[in-house]
Amino acid sequence: MGRLVVISNRIPVAGARVGSTGGLAVALADVLARREALWIGWSGVLADVPEPPTRRRTRRTDIVGFGLTPEMHAGFYSGFANGTLWPLFHYRLGLVDYRRDDYQKYLATNSYIAEVVRQNLRPDDTIWVHDFHLIPLARALRALGIPNPVGFFLHIPFPAAEVFRALPVHRDLAEALSHFDLVGFQTDSCRRQFADYAGSGDPHAAEIGGRRVTLGTFPIGIDTQRFSAYAADGDGGIESARLAESTGTRALAIGVDRLDYSKGLPNRIAGYGEFLARNPDWHGKVQYLQITPISRGEVANYRSMRRELDGMAGRLNGKYAEFDWTPLRYLNRGYPRKSLAAFYRQAHVGLVTPLRDGMNLVAKEFVAAQRADDPGVLVLSEFAGAASELAGALKVNPYDVDAIADAIGKALAMPLDERASRWKADFGCISANTATAWAESFLSALAATQAAREPIAA
């Protein structure tokens, strides 16, 4: 079997074992342990002349990091990827800041990355490209004459066709996607929306510019067994014990999100405020812990959202706190994964209310971390990809602050038998559809596109 070549915006952090850090590295850990692999991404270094690619090896994976110039980074990453595609694909048209020049830099940076790939590629490699930063990469690879199988997975939503058409370069971007052999989405609805945009009668394929691309649904999962073990081991250690001590006999609600406008944090805090306004009996008896590490601090929208949330959290506590009770603990810092797992396990309610989310792994981690004999309740936005899988969660429309307040009340009052049966359904789902199952099903679908292409031997 040839190598697996993974290409993502960032490479795993140096010093951390592949599989020990968050996100993609965790999702791919098992697959990368089983075969030779190469991982290519930005090293994190910016210089006026891009730093030549560096190489290191972790277990069976070679990791190649390339440098970028500040101009490339501003146009490609902060500009087109995070300033245009991210808000557009999350249905936030008002936040889209499109510039032609950023798009040119996005295309040029993808061509530059294709050249780095070419220099490191072998003829029997299979290439797997991740996420919205790298949509034009297959086209750039084909322009260099690279014939290897190339698959693409979109971690964020693909929007409704009418929303996608608001992008001035929608045609070119869709044409770029058609150069992949397989395009994977988190949900059936995202896949159908792309097929609909492409005018395809077949929701599993699209024909654009004379090329036929296979479409598939591959909902990303977590390493459920390992995450449950983290939670059960109490490996969160001192931090977990301190949380338990400081919460005491109060009910705990928890939220864990990057500071991002897609996560619906203002509505969630407003929903909790509404719950407190309506339920004086719960004053002093419930505590909401919101862990919100800062992300993309260089993008203006993110700075203003941070100020808004600081104000909301301060006002809520100012209104309701007592000398011996702080209703909301709002933190702009991160915690080790093991501590998070132990925190989720202590919580009676998990609040996952994004306005739009490709999947949302926090929802799955919350379920994985619960005790079978006394599980907490997941309150989940109907606009998270995870909602199509987690049938046991209490679904809310995150634009409806009153509905969030209702769901918090319902979750806190839910009897054990209902909590247990809802949790059991969701735990079964995340135990079957793990990160490894996700990666394997994507890669076997990609292999199938190649088999379909090969001429049948006489």
Q: How many residues does the chain have?
A: 458
Q: Do the beta carbons of residue 98 and residue 167 sit within 8 Å?
A: yes
Nearer to ligand GDG, 125 or 357 (CB): 357
Q: Does the footprint of ligand GDG cover residue 361 (CB under 6 A)?
A: yes
Are 268 and 351 in contact, with CB atoms under 8 Å apart? yes
Residue among 334, 431, 437, 447 that touches ligand GDG (CB under 6 A): 334
Q: How far is the CB of 220 from ligand GDG (least distance, A)?
A: 4
The reply to whether 73 belongs to the active site is no
Q: Which is nearer to ligand GDG, 142 or 258 (CB)?
A: 258
The answer to whether the CB of 113 falls within 8 A of the CB of 66 is: yes
Do residues 432 and 390 make contact, with C-beta atoms less than 8 angstroms apart? Answer: no
Q: Which residue is nearest to ligand GDG (CB)?
A: 334
CA atoms of 90 and 157, how far apart (whole Å): 7
- β-strand 182-185 against 328-331: which pairing, if any? unpaired
* Binding track, positions 338-357, relative to ligand GDG; x by CB under 6 A: --x----------------x
Residues 26 to 55 in contact with ligand GDG, rule: CB under 6 A: none
Strands 377-381 and 126-130: unpaired
Pairing of strands 205-208, 211-217: antiparallel
- One DSSP character per residue, 365-388 reads HHHHHS-TTS--EEEEETTBGGGG
If one asks whether residue 360 binds ligand GDG (CB under 6 A), the answer comes out as: yes
In contact, 395 and 332? CB cutoff 8 Å? no
Asked whether the beta carbons of 71 and 105 are under 8 A apart, the reply is yes
Which residues 141-180 are close enough to bind ligand GDG by CB under 6 A? 155-156
Please identify, among the stretches 105-113, 159-167, 322-330, 359-367, the one whose residues bind ligand GDG according to the rule CB under 6 A: 359-367
Taking CB under 6 A as the rule, does residue 336 contact ligand GDG? yes
Smallest distance from the beta carbon of 257 to ligand GDG, in angstroms?
7
Q: Which of 181, 223, 257, 357 is catalytic?
A: 357
- Contact indicator for 348, 376 with CB cutoff of 8 Å: yes
Active site residue 124: no
Least distance CB 314 / ligand GDG (angstroms): 21
Task: Please give the order of strands across the beta sheet that includes 37-46.
Answer: 54-58, 61-68, 37-46, 4-10, 126-130, 150-153, 182-185, 211-217, 205-208
The whole-angstrom separation of Cα 230 and Cα 102 is 42
Which residue in 155, 179, 223, 257 is the catalytic one?
155
Given 199, 293, 311, 428, the residue binding ligand GDG (CB under 6 A): 293
How many residues sit in the footprint of ligand GDG (CB under 6 A)? 21
Q: Per rule CB under 6 A, is residue 335 in the interface with ligand GDG?
A: yes
Instruction: State which of residues 215, 359, 407, 443 lies at the interface with ligand GDG (CB under 6 A).
Output: 359
Query: Distance between CA 72 and CA 191 in Å, rounded?
Result: 30
Query: How far apart (Å, rounded) are the C-alpha atoms in residues 12 and 127?
Result: 17
Binding of ligand GDG at residue 387 (CB under 6 A)?
A: no
Min separation Cβ 331 and ligand GDG, Å: 9
Choosing from 88, 176, 305, 362, the residue that interacts with ligand GDG (CB under 6 A) is: 362
Angle between helices 224-233 and 337-346 (to 10 degrees): 70
Min. distance of Cβ 360 from ligand GDG in angstroms?
A: 5
Residue with smaller CB distance to ligand GDG, 200 or 370: 370
Which stretches of the chain bind ligand GDG, using CB under 6 A? Answer: 22-23, 155-156, 220, 256, 258, 291, 293, 334-337, 340, 357-362, 365
Q: Which sequence positions are flagged as catalytic?
A: 155, 357
